[in-house]
């Protein structure tokens, strides 16, 4: 894991964080107990809390407080930030929503605010500093935790998209040396690339001589998509394959013409079945010619 950069703090901010911590520390145990009681009743957290023994909870709080103290008093943020990062990743992986972990912060804030209010009358200036220190502390906590949470969520989504892409762009082998690619759904840049690379690898691995690319299931073909498809066909042809494209609607045909797509050498046939028959015909002709050449004196 790359080093987390500690927050940049002005001198007065550091002071307030320290003021807040000095105020908080004696109340720590009581506040933790309060929070536990509240969270126990919340559906998102109840299960997690009940999964831990009281000693474990106490131990965890002790360590957490030590880390926070080091950060707020000694400007040693390493352990504290690392822990926030872990939490963020954990919540994301556990499928806990943004709103849910936000709840914890809200409960904590209330617990501390009550106690600040109790001393506010005696020393408003001090109370204000404590309040500001708390806010700064929670802002920092939320930003690091939030960033880790979001980064993890994005990674999870990327993995899922990758899996979906794999499932949705199969390369089917039909008889010897003929591949069919039924393209279904929207084709964005990522998908087009995935599709093309998969096709080219398949051509090499299965020694395909013919490819039928069926785009019946592609709802939108704008100039970008048309280019992607044209590039895929072009690349396949560079590898010596005969390419037939099927399922081209009249709108798509117009788009292809409009972008001047150089689909030279790519045969267009109405439907998939027709496409397969076309390739069969072409391959049969070449096979016949090959036989003729062999037989020639």
Partner 1 sequence: MAFEATVAIVRDVDVLTARKTIRELARELGFVDSDAVLLATAVSEIARNILTYATRGEISFEVLRDGKRLGVAAVARDQGPGIADVERAMQDGYSTGGGLGLGLPGARRIMDEFRVESSLGAGTTIFMKKWKA
Partner 2 sequence: MSVPILKQGRFLVVAIQDELEDGEWQTLRTDLLARAGLHRSLGVLIDVSAMEIMDSYATRMLDGLARMLRFRGAETVVAGIQPTVAFAMSRLGLRLSSAGTSLDLDDGLAELRRRTTRRGHGV
Please give the size of the binding site for partner 1, defined by CB under 8 A: 10
- Fill in the per-residue mask, 247 to 266: x = in contact with partner 1 (CB under 8 A), - = not in contact: ------------xxxx----
Residue 296 contact partner, candidates partner 2, partner 1, none, CB within 5 to 8 A by sort of partner: partner 2
286 sits near partner 1 (criterion: CB under 8 A): no
- Residue 149, SS3 per DSSP: helix
Within 199-218, which residues bind partner 1 (CB under 8 A)?
none
| Nearest distance in Å: CB 201, partner 2 | 5
245 sits near partner 2 (criterion: CB under 8 A): no
| Nearest distance in Å: CB 265, partner 2 | 10
Between vectors from CA 249 to CA 246 and to CA 253, what angle results, nearest 5°? 90
Between vectors from CA 63 to CA 103 and to CA 108, what angle results, nearest 5°? 20
Within 44-83, which residues bind partner 1 (CB under 8 A)?
none
Which one of 2, 99, 204, 250 is in contact with partner 2 (CB under 8 A)? Answer: 204
- What angle, 0 to 180 degrees and rounded to 10, lies between the N-to-C axes of helices 223-238 and 250-258? 80
Stretch that binds partner 2, among 106-114, 163-171, 199-207, 215-223 (CB under 8 A): 199-207
238 sits near partner 2 (criterion: CB under 8 A): yes
Sole residue written with tokens 């939320």: 142
Helix then strand count (H, E) for the chain reads 10, 5
Count of other CB atoms within 10 angstroms of residue 45:
20
Residue placing its CB nearer to partner 2 in the complex, 68 or 196: 196
| Nearest distance in Å: CB 207, partner 2 | 6
Stretch that binds partner 1, among 57-65, 73-81, 101-109, 221-229 (CB under 8 A): 221-229
Phi, psi angles (nearest 5°) of residue 267? -85, 140
Residue 51 contact partner, candidates partner 1, partner 2, none, CB within 5 to 8 A by sort of partner: none
Whole-number Å distance between alpha carbons of 269 and 216: 11
Residue 293 contact partner, candidates partner 1, partner 2, none, CB within 5 to 8 A by sort of partner: partner 2
Whole-number Å distance between alpha carbons of 76 and 242: 65
232 sits near partner 2 (criterion: CB under 8 A): yes
**How far are the Cα atoms of 30, 59, 181, 270, 276 from residue 247, in angstroms, in the given order?**
69, 65, 12, 6, 12
Laid out side by side, the sheet with 242-246 consists of 172-173, 178-184, 210-217, 242-246, 267-269
Beta bridge partners of 212: 180, 244
- Residue 34, SS3 per DSSP: helix
| Nearest distance in Å: CB 98, partner 1 | 20
Which one of 143, 160, 161, 286 is in contact with partner 2 (CB under 8 A)? Answer: 286
Residue placing its CB nearer to partner 1 in the complex, 35 or 181: 181
Stretch that binds partner 1, among 7-15, 104-112, 136-144, 219-227 (CB under 8 A): 219-227
- For 174, residues 6+ apart whose C-beta sits below 8 A from its C-beta are 180, 276
2 sits near partner 1 (criterion: CB under 8 A): yes
> Which residues lie near partner 1 (CB under 8 A)?
2, 151, 197, 223-224, 227, 259-262
């Amino acid at each position: 894991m790359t080093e987390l950069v500690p927050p940049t703090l002005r001198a007065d901010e550091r002071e307030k964080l320290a003021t807040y911590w000095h105020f908080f520390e004696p109340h720590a145990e009581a506040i933790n107990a309060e929070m536990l009681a509240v969270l126990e009743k919340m559906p998102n957290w109840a299960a997690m809390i009940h999964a831990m023994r009281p000693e474990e909870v106490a131990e965890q709080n002790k360590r957490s407080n030590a880390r926070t103290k080091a950060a707020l008093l000694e400007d040693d943020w390493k352990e504290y930030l690392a822990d926030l990062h872990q939490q963020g990743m954990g919540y994301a992986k556990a499928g806990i929503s943004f709103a849910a972990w936000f709840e914890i912060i809200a409960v904590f804030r209330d617990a501390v605010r009550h106690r600040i209010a109790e001393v506010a009358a005696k020393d408003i200036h001090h109370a204000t500093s404590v309040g500001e220190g708390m806010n700064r502390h929670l802002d920092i906590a939320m930003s690091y935790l939030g960033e880790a949470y979001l980064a993890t969520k994005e990674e999870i989504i990327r993995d899922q998209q990758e899996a979906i892409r794999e499932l949705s762009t199969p390369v089917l082998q039909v008889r010897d040396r003929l591949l069919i690619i039924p393209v279904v759904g929207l084709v964005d840049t990522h998908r087009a690339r995935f599709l093309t690379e998969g096709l080219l690898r398949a051509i090499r691995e299965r020694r395909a001589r013919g490819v039928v690319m069926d785009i019946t299931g592609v709802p939108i073909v704008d100039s970008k998509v048309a280019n992607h498809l044209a590039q895929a066909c072009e690349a396949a042809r560079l590898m010596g394959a005969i390419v037939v494209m099927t399922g081209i609607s009249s709108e798509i045909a117009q788009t292809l013409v409009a972008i001047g797509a150089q689909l030279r050498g790519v045969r267009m046939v109405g439907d998939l079945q027709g496409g397969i028959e076309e390739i069969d015909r072409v391959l049969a002709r070449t096979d016949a010619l090959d036989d003729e050449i062999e037989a020639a004196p």
